């Protein structure tokens, strides 16, 4: 970087020399630094220095770009119960790689919700649960396997076991969840990025690919960022998120149409179910400023809920002024899945990590238990008492 400064930062804008942990480079940057990194746009950005600079991890990216200078067969893998950011980031990167002469396929461990069906290419995503042999063949036949929107092989369960069996592939991680495992040859990670879609956008730009982003790709990237930021309202909604959204809008996307495709897709059963949850199921623990709800398998069956129908329910209690933590317990065949949401500085990543075998982000995380719904609720009480003391 030749001691160059961006010319806009009054101080401290030079990237610190990367200090080296075992094979990993951590590079600290002020978020608005205009040095030519993935984090800078050719836009004039109002100047502001974060007290705690965002952390990025860029491992072997020049080697990745070199690797991609010849046509490759690439498999892009999303996490279990894939959301819009996971599927969206895989699809956007797939289309970009195809434009660069590679072949690329998207694989997910299990199915994604119906409200992602509008995304171009979603009908060509391979689901391991439905099609294990084809998925294995694609992985075994690829030169590069990309892991998007997750950062540990265990997050994709049996698909991860498949992949661990296949030797001799290059691995790439693109992710924004906390506490990444160091298991890939190439890594592009930042827990300050709103979404993996934002990181895919950065990665494409690092490969001079802005002109390759067409309106279909722009709509997918925009939707992934919108979904992971609660439509641009959570604390991960940075100025840069809006700048990227603006750039994507210049590509000719239709924001209202995307919003209708993603959010205004409820069946009557889902809205009635939300009414039932709020009226009969929501419990408030005022001493912990916490509200929680439980969904049993019986209730999910009664209301004919698909996996996507439960999406977003966890957020609802946060609309109350006296509630800072919202928790949703969902009963599954062999476990209880738990989602956490919080306001402000309350770190539910830590809560999920310490008590519920999970993790995620500061204000949005998940975990699971192998005990009953009632026992899991009991653990919540104990955990909150310890966590908030």
Binding residues for Mn ion, per CB under 5 A?
85, 149, 195-196, 228
**Least Å from the CB of residue 349 to Mn ion:** 13
210 Cα distance to chain centroid: 22
Nearer to Mn ion (CB atom), residue 6 or residue 364: 364
Nearest CA to 324 out of 337, 340, 343 is that of 343
Structure token pair of residue 149? 């929107």
Say if residues 152 and 173 touch (Cβ distance below 8 Å).
no
Q: Which residue is nearest to Mn ion (CB)?
A: 85
Residue 202 or 228: the one with the smaller Cβ distance to Mn ion is 228
d(C-alpha 77, C-alpha 109), whole Å: 8
Give the count of beta carbons closer than 10 Å to the beta carbon of residue 313: 22
* Kind plus residue range of the DSSP H or E element containing 267: none
CB nearer to Mn ion: pick between 191 and 309: 191
Nearest to 310 by CA among 324, 325, 322, 293: 293
Of 295, 221, 241, 235, which Cα lies nearest the Cα of 45? 241
Query: What is the nearest approach in angstroms of Mn ion to the Cβ of residue 84?
Result: 8
What is the C-alpha separation between 389 and 385, in angstroms, rounded? 6
Nearer to Mn ion, 149 or 349 (CB): 149
> What are the structure tokens assigned to 329, written together?
């317990």
CB closer to Mn ion out of 169 and 178: 178
The per-residue DSSP string of 367-380 comes to: EEESS-HHHHHHHH
Beta pairing partners, 55: 28
CA–CA gap between residue 333 and residue 383 (Å, rounded): 24
| 24 and 182 Cβ atoms separated by less than 8 Å | yes
Alpha helices in 255-324 (DSSP H): 255-263, 268-276, 297-302
* Closest-CA residue to 331 (of 359, 365, 364, 293): 293
The position carrying tokens 């956008």 is 201
State in angstroms the smallest separation of the CB of 196 from Mn ion: 5
Torsion of CA 372, 373, 375, 380, to 10 degrees: 140
Supply φ then ψ for residue 186, to 5 degrees. Answer: -125, 135
CA torsion sign, 7 to 8 to 14 to 15? negative
Q: C-beta of 198: minimal distance to Mn ion in Å? A: 9
């Amino acid at each position: 970087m030749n001691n160059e400064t961006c010319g806009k930062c009054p101080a401290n804008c030079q990237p610190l020399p990367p200090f080296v942990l075992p094979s990993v480079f951590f590079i600290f940057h002020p978020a608005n630094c205009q040095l030519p990194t993935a984090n800078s746009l050719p836009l004039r950005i109002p100047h502001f220095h974060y007290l705690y600079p965002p952390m990025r991890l860029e491992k072997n990216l020049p080697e990745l770009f070199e690797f991609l200078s010849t046509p490759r067969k690439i498999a892009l893998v999303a996490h279990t119960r894939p959301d819009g950011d996971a599927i969206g980031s895989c699809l956007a990167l797939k289309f970009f790689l195809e434009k660069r002469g590679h072949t690329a396929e998207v694989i997910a461990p299990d199915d994604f919700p119906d409200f992602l069906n509008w995304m171009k290419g979603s009908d060509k995503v391979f689901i391991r649960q439905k099609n294990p042999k084809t998925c294995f063949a694609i992985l075994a036949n690829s030169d590069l396997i990309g892991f998007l929107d997750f950062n540990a092989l265990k997050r994709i369960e049996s698909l991860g076991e498949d992949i661990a069996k296949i030797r001799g592939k290059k691995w790439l991680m693109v992710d924004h969840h906390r506490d990444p495992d160091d298991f890939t040859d190439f890594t592009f990670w930042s827990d300050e990025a709103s979404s993996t879609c934002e990181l895919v956008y950065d990665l494409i730009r690092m490969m001079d690919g802005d002109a390759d982003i067409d309106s279909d790709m722009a709509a997918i990237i925009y939707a992934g960022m919108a979904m992971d930021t609660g439509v641009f309202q959570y604390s991960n909604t940075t100025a840069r998120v809006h700048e990227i959204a603006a750039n994507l809008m210049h590509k000719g996307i239709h924001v209202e149409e995307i919003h209708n495709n993603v959010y205004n897709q409820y069946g009557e059963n889902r809205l009635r179910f939300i009414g039932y949850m709020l009226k009969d199921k929501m419990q408030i623990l005022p001493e912990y400023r916490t509200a929680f709800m439980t969904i049993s398998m019986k209730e999910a069956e009664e209301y004919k809920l698909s996996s996507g129908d439960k999406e977003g329910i966890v957020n609802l209690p946060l609309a109350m002024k006296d509630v800072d933590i919202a928790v949703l317990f969902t009963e599954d065949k062999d476990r209880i899945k738990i989602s956490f949401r919080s306001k402000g500085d309350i770190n539910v990543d830590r809560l999920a990590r310490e008590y519920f075998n999970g993790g995620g982000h500061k204000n949005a995380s998940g975990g699971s238990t192998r005990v009953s719904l009632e026992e899991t609720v009991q653990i919540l009480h104990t955990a909150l008492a310890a966590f908030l003391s």
